Amino acid sequence: MTETQETFPPPPEFAAAANVQADEYARAREDRLGFWAEKARTLLEWETPFTETLDWSNPPFARWFADGKLNVARNCLDRHVEAGNGDRVAIHFEGEPGDIRTLTYAQLTEEVKRAANMLADLGVKKGDRVAVYLPMIPEATIAMLACARLGAAHSVVFGGFSADALRSRINDAEARVVITADGGYRRGRPSGLKPAVDEALAGGDTPVEHVVVVERTGQDVAWTEGRDKKWGELLAAASPEHEAEAFEAENPLFILYTSGTTGSPKGILHTSGGYLTQATYSMFASFDLKPETDVFWCTADVGWVTGHTYVTYGPLSAGATQVMYEGTPDTPDKGRWWSVVQKYGVTTLYTAPTAIRTCMKWGEDIPAQYDLSSLRLLGSVGEPINPEAWLWYRRVIGGDRCPIVDTWWQTETGAHMIVPMPGVVDTKPGSSQRAIPGIEVKVVDDEGAELEGGEPGLLVITEPWPAMLRGVYGDPQRFRDTYWSRFENTYFAGDGARRDEDGDIWFLGRVDDVMNVSGHRLSTAEIESSLVAHDAVAEAAVVGAADETSGQSVIAFVILRADAEAGEDIAEELRRHVGSDIGPIAKPKRVHVVDELPKTRSGKIMRRLLKDVAEHRAVGDSSTLADSSVMDIISQQVESSSADD
């Protein structure tokens, strides 16, 4: 397969000037800890230098640079101003309605200092948790950095999540303050956020003492006196002077919830020094960042880890100029993204395969109307990118000249792990290729033996890394069970992968019951429990079926209760139910009402067979089913209901 496959060497000028050259891999391998220590020392400002790089005496609980002290916000802000770069643009913000704001490093630093004083006045201090539920506006980044400045951990909740999802995250993290907005703009209309906060906090039994509300849309919102405060008013009253205290490298920086195989979302915990080291290094390495001349644009929302690491911490710590855009790619028209690239002279674009496939569908005559010649590097993240989309991205967006970095990582890994270094590696469409310098991974079989001959296996990370998660918030056992129990002292990522004869890694999707819809992680179990919570549903099974645009789509199979008063459009009602219960991204694309679900004799649902049906394939081996006729019935029922689509 790879023999016939075309590879793409970096352009010679790009390679010659690249931040990372080929020798970096060998250097990192010879002295891995020395490599990361050097990166931490040279890329970050430490108030107290560390003497020990890694403490791995109590695996899987790693401590990096543990006796060093730093302030993460100072690293992202003040130090650039003090180095004479206060006038450099940190954020070119473009709102969906077309309003713009430019924040230099000096201005952003002042805003964050005020916000830190504001939070301190509300009683926020080191060790506290603050929930952030905001649209993609500069205040999201300002709020995150204000928490970091005080040594408090933020828990950002994606604005598309429901009130219920917000409530469970607030309660699990015991957040004292929520920072939100009246609303944000979505597809040309204001869309409320504050009502979901009110609903999440209703009933009284909440750890939240203060709700700070950013005015974004100006829409009317309900107001709880005493609890609710206006961001604008508090900020104007807060002092612009704030001396940042340095905290231990292992001080918690944030908690970010992500879906797992079972149960409720896990609060992934990240700390300060190691996380910021790898986030900053990857900006210079994977994105070849030249802070004086590049304009970086990561299209992710700050509600996801990509927005944490490649909108807030990575770009700002690296001193980059970046674009932040609030809205969708098709508002007011399908050329919006490309008009943003042209307007700001974006050099580095980082987005997801699902967005690229959507643009492919819209047609290449749309980007062709814009000048995209400022681009010099393209990135992809979130799911495996199919070679067809990769080639389109390179040709139509990258003008056949931009290297593409297909970046594999996870909420848990904190920052990039497997990326073809853009000035070094000849890229292969569809492959993430190699671990970045300083990271050690393998593809192994079920017993943990390494596979190098192209056979499919499991991806594992064999050595601790600086930005690794430090745990599942409040649940050390779940941390061990989920990631460290499959193989000894080795991190199990949950991804299938194979390594070709050149040693390049190809990702094959999740091997667990985690779905990937438009680059977002969703758990089958979570959607199933939402469905069975509906009065009409007796049982539910959910699978992720291959989808041309979104990678996978959520397909649900439900058995209704015998006494259910289900109308004609029960499927639609159930889709809506899941959408409002978890959030619109979790809405099943189709809900099939069936009489039975395929179960083994021990009662386990065989989702693999349902996936065959959802993907319109011949149903696989069903010999272990308690009743083998079940699949015929389901197939018939699904076919007759899909016929109306």
507 binds ligand WT7 (CB under 6 A): yes
Written as one string, the DSSP assignment of 114-159 is: HHHHHHHHTT--TT-EEEEE--SSHHHHHHHHHHHHHTPEEEE--T
- Residue number, 347 or 410, with CB nearest to ligand WT7: 410
518 binds ligand WT7 (CB under 6 A): no
- Residue number, 272 or 309, with CB nearest to ligand WT7: 309
Q: Which of 141, 411, 490, 524 binds ligand WT7 (CB under 6 A)?
A: 411
Task: Please tell me the count of residues contacting ligand WT7 according to CB under 6 A.
Answer: 22
* Gap between the Cα atoms of 94 and 331, Å rounded: 12
β-strands 491-499, 457-461 pairing: antiparallel
* Gap between the Cα atoms of 251 and 451, Å rounded: 38
- Residue number, 242 or 498, with CB nearest to ligand WT7: 498
DSSP H or E run through 515: strand 514-517
Two tokens, residue 421: 């270094």
141 binds ligand WT7 (CB under 6 A): no
Q: Which of residues 379-398 bind ligand WT7 (CB under 6 A)?
A: 381-384
Stretch that binds ligand WT7, among 22-30, 182-190, 368-376, 493-501 (CB under 6 A): 493-501
Stretch that binds ligand WT7, among 13-21, 114-122, 473-481, 492-500 (CB under 6 A): 492-500
Q: Which of 117, 282, 299, 410 binds ligand WT7 (CB under 6 A)?
A: 410
- Residue number, 321 or 411, with CB nearest to ligand WT7: 411
Q: Shortest distance, CB of residue 41 to ligand WT7, whole angstroms?
A: 27
Q: Which of 408, 479, 483, 492 binds ligand WT7 (CB under 6 A)?
A: 408
Q: In sequence order, what are the beta bridge partners of 254? A: 154, 270
Written as one string, the DSSP assignment of 104-115 is: EHHHHHHHHHHH
Q: Shortest distance, CB of residue 507 to ligand WT7, whole angstroms?
A: 4
Q: Which of 280, 282, 299, 407 binds ligand WT7 (CB under 6 A)?
A: 407
Of 561, 555, 570, the closest CA to residue 535 belongs to 561
510 binds ligand WT7 (CB under 6 A): yes
Q: Are 53 and 33 in contact (CB under 8 A)?
A: yes
Of 305, 276, 269, the closest CA to residue 469 belongs to 269
Q: Which of residues 304-323 bind ligand WT7 (CB under 6 A)?
A: 305-306
- Sole residue written with tokens 């650039």: 80
- Sole residue written with tokens 């986030």: 279
Stretch that binds ligand WT7, among 102-110, 180-188, 322-330, 514-522 (CB under 6 A): 514-522
- Residue sitting closest to ligand WT7 (CB): 411
List the x/- string, 600-639, binding to ligand WT7 by CB under 6 A: ----------------------------------------
Summarize the chain as % helix, strand, coil (round to 5).
30, 25, 45
Task: Output b/e per residue, 559-583; b: 16+ Cβ within 10 A.
Answer: bbeeeeebeeebbeebbebbbebbb
Two tokens, residue 393: 């991205």
* Gap between the Cα atoms of 580 and 475, Å rounded: 28
List the x/- string, 225-264, binding to ligand WT7 by CB under 6 A: ---------------------------------x------
Q: Are 249 and 243 in contact (CB under 8 A)?
A: no
SS3 assignment for 197-236: HHHHHCCCCCCCCEEEEECCCCCCCCCCCCCEEEHHHHHH
406 binds ligand WT7 (CB under 6 A): yes
151 binds ligand WT7 (CB under 6 A): no
* Gap between the Cα atoms of 622 and 612, Å rounded: 11
Stretch that binds ligand WT7, among 182-190, 339-347, 354-362, 491-499 (CB under 6 A): 491-499
Q: Say which DSSP state 11 is in.
A: P
- Residue number, 117 or 280, with CB nearest to ligand WT7: 280
Stretch that binds ligand WT7, among 49-57, 441-449, 516-524, 530-538 (CB under 6 A): 516-524
Stretch that binds ligand WT7, among 377-385, 387-395, 422-430, 470-478 (CB under 6 A): 377-385
Q: Which of 161, 247, 409, 557 binds ligand WT7 (CB under 6 A)?
A: 409
* Gap between the Cα atoms of 17 and 581, Å rounded: 50
Q: Which of 516, 524, 550, 552 binds ligand WT7 (CB under 6 A)?
A: 516
Contacting positions for ligand WT7 (CB under 6 A): 258, 305-306, 381-384, 406-411, 432, 493-495, 507, 510, 516, 519, 521
